Structure 1
């Protein structure tokens, strides 16, 4: 049986003539050779050593790991198509502060803002200006770029625009000669 595609001829095999074992051997890669006792011991030793290293991280390394995890969580959320109200700018800012194991007041002093202003940003009572987002990037030594924080703010704003029916109702009062289309 032949099949012609793009002026090439391919021979098709009639698989009905083959046994199940022959088919499996032809399409399934053989499993890895059995692990020796020595290999098992080496793997166990590796994981024991790895757990020791993990447990003996310095406090600074632990904070770094937590912030790196937050960065990846923030970046994944920003590029996703879903909006989750709990994952707003205030949430990520609060996580950023908490993962450093610093009081809000100390963090506010680090970035030269008043603690009350920081609280307003965390609780989404106030939208942060550009300079604040730049300070966050500088404070993290570039680990979490300002662009990621801006994208997060943008995602919040997009959701607000899409769901705020009140502003549409208020602004519709200013519209005359609205275009009419049948669709």
Structure 2
């Protein structure tokens, strides 16, 4: 592997942390992985406080609005009220 001299060892280690290596799973393994991920998400969400949930919903609203604003196409149906209705009540 060719490595530029401008990369220090520390930079390479930081980059290595950001690399995601994927592996092809069989349908059974993929199903099991989905179940494990679902269980982990349920556990994490059950530990969230109401304040954490509110912050998560507000961040979701912020990111969706930013995506819409950065989109060059105008859509009459996507009003501010539309986005507010999409955020689940806490």
- TM-score scaled by length of structure 2: 0.46
Ranked by relative contact order (alpha carbons within 8 Å, sequence separation 6 or more), the top structure is 2
- TM-score scaled by length of structure 1: 0.26
Larger Rg: 1
- Which one has a larger percent strand, Structure 1 or Structure 2? 1
